[in-house]
Amino acid sequence: MSSAGGEGPEAGPGRAGGRSEPEAPGSALSVDLPGLLGQLARSFALLLPVYALGYLGLSFSWVLLALGLLAWCRRSRGLKASRLCRALALLEDEEQAVRLGVRACDLPAWVHFPDTERAEWLNKTVKHMWPFICQFIEKLFRETIEPAVRGANAHLSTFSFTKVDVGQQPLRVNGVKVYTENVDKRQIILDLQISFVGNCEIDLEIKRYFCRAGVKSIQIHGTMRVILEPLIGDMPLVGALSIFFLRKPLLEINWTGLTNLLDIPGLNGLSDTIILDIISNYLVLPNRITVPLVSEVQIAQLRFPIPKGVLRIHFIEAQDLQGKDTYLKGLVKGKSDPYGIIRVGNQIFQSKVIKENLSPKWNEVYEALVYEHPGQELEIELFDEDPDKDDFLGSLMIDLIEVEKERLLDEWFTLDEVPKGKLHLKLEWLTLMPDAANLDKVLADVRADKDQAIDGLSSALLILYLDSARNLPSGKKINSNPNPLVQMSVGHKAQESKIRYKTSEPVWEENFTFFIHNPKRQDLEVEVKDEQHQCSLGSLRIPLSQLLTSDNMTINQRFQLSNSGPNSTLKMKIALRVLHLEKQERPPDYQHSAQVKRPSVSKEGRKMPIKSQMSASPGGANTAPSTPVMGVNDKPAMEEKPQPPEASPLGHRDLGRSSSSLLASPSHIAAKEPTPSIASDISLPIATQELRQRLRQLENGTTLGQSPLGQIQLTIRHSSQRNKLIVVVHSCRNLIAFSEDGSDPYVRMYLLPDKRRSGRRKTHVSKKTLNPVFDQSFDFSVSLPEVQRRTLDVAVKNSGGFLSKDKGLLGKVLVALASEELAKGWTQWYDLTEDGTRPQVIT
């Protein structure tokens, strides 16, 4: 009884709880309903792709691919956040960060270099000024950038910055180096190792499309050069201030909103590269920001000075390299497939790959501009090409000041950071001469005095300063301002200016350079175009021989444009400089050796090889070009690895553009294309080499016909009424089979020298046929006098499927359009060849 009575008080609450139980489930259900629905939605979202793949009969590997991409994305974002936290910790307390084991590559510059000084007084000053600097940046965004973006396109008329907060962390100077030797006495040169790690918030929106995006953090690390020149005897003692980066800075951005998609692996590198290209257009050598402090200073000369010289690099051979290839899980050691990466400032070249050779011979020659030799070095790295990650074979850094002193160096250099290996280089320092006294001798040295070629070793350098234009016509629409840009070309080399929006009197203030093979035979062709309507606003043709008889080989005037308005003019300053090698008299027992610098970044801190850093995005049009050339007696080499067609070396028709840092830049888009040669077929694009190899396999002891790659039928004519070149692609016949199922051909066309994406024309793809019929018509907006100076580049390619390796070149033809019959037109069959040269017309 007592037990029963004891149970009464305990059971009472239980029964009371039992009476309240019907209410508890109802209340719990009402609280968890959103969570339950969210779980069902997530489960449905996960199962729907699996069901869709099964319903469509697709492979399950797509699910694995999506999961792999998701894991890669999460890992990439985690690593980026980790790097941001580590950099913030370093800025807040250097000593504590070092004690916690910061990597050597993250340490400030004064730790590595004894001639680099700390600048804590400058950092304290910047920290005190930072709130006012932030106010200036916000004003710049809202009053300058925002109106410019709105006026660039009608779709961006509602663009606005909703929030501009640069953050509380100020810009930091990790070290300062002042140059006191080998500099002009009327200038002061400082190198600032800058670092900005900011938790900024920059939000923008386009109200018209309900689009919001932004940036939540930015990292920028690089070497900024500050030049104070000229020094004068009156206050403020300095005539002007010039600021620029010696090379592209390291940039990392965390996105928010819609632009968060740019953090996806693959897209994050692409977005950072595009932004770096924009920065390069304004702040990477030879571009600079110049602030005049005295009104009498010649601002144009300070913004775009003439290069100090040209470095001709003979990349000859190497010996005793390491064998990196292994077989049977390392039991059997093989050789290496070496290639070289060469960099001078922001100009990068890649040699061809020599297969299975520890003593490779390249025999390649490159030419590069040198603007600031104090602080610039010739940097070379050798790698062993592998399918996944290329192995490091050694590096070399040579001070360009020593090369300038010696003028000519022909030596074997020992490679750094590896136990063995040496490299044979021949370096020539070419001085820029303002007169034509030595031109005939230089032409004879580069063999440009007898041949009619317009490519090869350079005898001169053309420097062009594009100032402004006046009274440009309105273009296609009457009473509407055009979006003008200027295209300039010398031979097959072309560059273009930035676009100026909605103006008939644009101001560019840009500098361009061209390497010239023979100034007596070559011309500078200039065309002003309306970017919006792709029509010509005027053109100009200047024979370079005219500069040879000008004072100081320089012309500075306003040029009247032809095929334009009656008062349309273009103001330019053009200078020609002869590239002269000054041979110094040396005693027979003279010993010289260039100073070889040791790399400041250890091998463990080294990033991916520069071959995988070459961006495919177009770079700034005003970056200094660098011309690769080769000996004309070199024979074709078959050691090169087949690579994807159309992989643009350095991503641009101008080979010196858009390249990341050699030692500290993330891997973006693989571009395994060597820098092509213009004087020998030893470094032709890999697609051509691959096609030649396929031809040899097809031949296999038999004699191929007169057209082994097949033929293409084209109709070409120029319409004077429409002011357009019309090309009709009819059909192809007897193409080679790219696989067992035949080929999936299509036709791609460019009107050289324009190889922009907007200038490309493509047909549809014909599936599994060797005799495709297209019957498609294409047009190019170009005048008749202009088109007769152009060349039509027609390539037949195999498409292949998505993620397919069966993509490549099937044949090519280059059609010269300098014909009087172009207005009437013609229809003909053309033989396809490997590189498009010497096409045979089939009547």
pLDDT tens digits, one per residue of 811-841? 889 888 888 788 888 999 998 888 776 644 4
What integer is the mean pLDDT of 692-696?
61
| pLDDT at position 322 | 86
Q: Which residue has the higher pLDDT, 157 or 262?
A: 157
Q: In degrees rounded to 5, what are phi and psi of residue 42?
A: -65, -40
Torsion of CA 729, 735, 739, 742, to 10 degrees: 70
| pLDDT at position 595 | 59
Q: Is the pLDDT at 9 greater than 60, yes or no?
A: no
**In sequence order, what are the residues at sequence separation of 6 or more whose Cβ sits closer than 8 angstroms to the Cβ of residue 493?**
514, 515, 625, 627, 653, 654, 753
**Average pLDDT in the chain:** 75
Q: Is the pLDDT at 556 greater than 80, yes or no?
A: yes
pLDDT in tens, 478-497: 677 888 999 999 887 888 89
Tokens of 179: 């140059």
The secondary structure of residue 280, as a DSSP letter, is H
Tokens of 572: 């330019």
| pLDDT at position 4 | 41
Q: Is the pLDDT at 639 greater than 50, yes or no?
A: no
How deeply is 428 buried, as exposed, middle or buried, from its count of CB atoms within 10 A (0-12, 13-18, 19+)? buried
What integer is the mean pLDDT of 100-123?
66
| pLDDT at position 284 | 78
What integer is the mean pLDDT of 647-658?
33
pLDDT in tens, 199-242: 888 888 877 777 777 888 888 888 888 988 888 877 888 888 88
| pLDDT at position 457 | 84
| pLDDT at position 15 | 43
Q: What is d(CA 685, CA 671) in angstroms, rounded to the nearest whole number?
A: 12
What integer is the mean pLDDT of 68-82?
83
What integer is the mean pLDDT of 450-457?
62
| pLDDT at position 88 | 76
Q: Is the pLDDT at 576 greater than 90, yes or no?
A: yes
- Does an H or E element contain 16, and which? helix 2-20
pLDDT in tens, 279-338: 666 677 777 788 888 776 566 566 667 888 899 999 999 998 988 876 665 566 778 889
What integer is the mean pLDDT of 140-169?
80
| pLDDT at position 427 | 92
> Which of 34-48, 188-202, 670-684 is the least confident region?
670-684
Q: Is the pLDDT at 451 greater than 60, yes or no?
A: no
pLDDT in tens, 759-792: 889 999 888 888 999 999 999 888 887 888 788 9
Q: Give the sign of the dihedral formed by CA 86, CA 88, CA 94, CA 95.
A: negative
| pLDDT at position 450 | 59
Confidence grade of residue 660 (pLDDT, cut at 50, 70, 90)? very low
Using only C-alpha atoms, the chain has a radius of gyration, in whole angstroms, of 31
How deeply is 522 buried, as exposed, middle or buried, from its count of CB atoms within 10 A (0-12, 13-18, 19+)? buried
Instruction: Check if the beta carbon of residue 300 is closer than 8 Å to that of residue 573.
Output: yes
| pLDDT at position 460 | 92
Q: Is the pLDDT at 448 greater than 90, yes or no?
A: no
| pLDDT at position 840 | 47
What integer is the mean pLDDT of 418-427?
91
Max avg pLDDT among 60-64, 231-235, 808-812? 808-812
Q: Which residue has the higher pLDDT, 13 or 576?
A: 576
Q: Is the pLDDT at 462 greater than 90, yes or no?
A: yes
Q: What is d(CA 475, CA 537) in angstroms, rounded to the nearest whole number?
A: 6
pLDDT in tens, 173-207: 888 888 877 777 788 888 888 888 888 888 888 77
329 dihedral zone (left: phi>0; alpha: psi -120 to 50; beta): left
Report the predicted TM-score, pTM, of the whole model to 2 decimal places: 0.59
Confidence grade of residue 706 (pLDDT, cut at 50, 70, 90)? low
Tokens of 12: 């009472």
Q: Which residue has the higher pLDDT, 702 or 85?
A: 85
Q: Which residue has the higher pLDDT, 444 or 527?
A: 527
- The SS3 call for residue 514 is strand
Confidence grade of residue 682 (pLDDT, cut at 50, 70, 90)? very low
Within a 10 A sphere around the Cβ of 629, how many other Cβ atoms? 22
Q: In degrees rounded to 5, what are phi and psi of residue 238?
A: -120, 130
| pLDDT at position 655 | 33
Tokens of 132: 């006012």
Bridge-partner residues for 14, per DSSP? none
Give the C-alpha distances (Å, rounded to integers) separating 341 from 20, 394, 395, 423, 610: 79, 11, 9, 13, 7
| pLDDT at position 461 | 93
| pLDDT at position 634 | 40
How deeply is 464 buried, as exposed, middle or buried, from its count of CB atoms within 10 A (0-12, 13-18, 19+)? buried
Q: Is the pLDDT at 358 greater than 50, yes or no?
A: yes
| pLDDT at position 443 | 86
Torsion of CA 313, 318, 322, 325, to 10 degrees: 80
| pLDDT at position 79 | 83
| pLDDT at position 386 | 84
DSSP labels, 437-495: TTHHHHHHHTTTTT---S-SS-SEEEEEEEEEEES----SSTT----EEEEEEETTEEE
Q: In degrees rounded to 5, what are phi and psi of residue 719?
A: -95, 110
| pLDDT at position 612 | 44
Q: Is the pLDDT at 535 greater than 90, yes or no?
A: no
Max avg pLDDT among 11-25, 302-316, 416-430, 630-644? 416-430
| pLDDT at position 477 | 67
| pLDDT at position 667 | 34
What integer is the mean pLDDT of 240-266?
72
pLDDT in tens, 366-416: 999 988 777 678 899 999 888 878 888 999 988 888 888 888 888 999 998
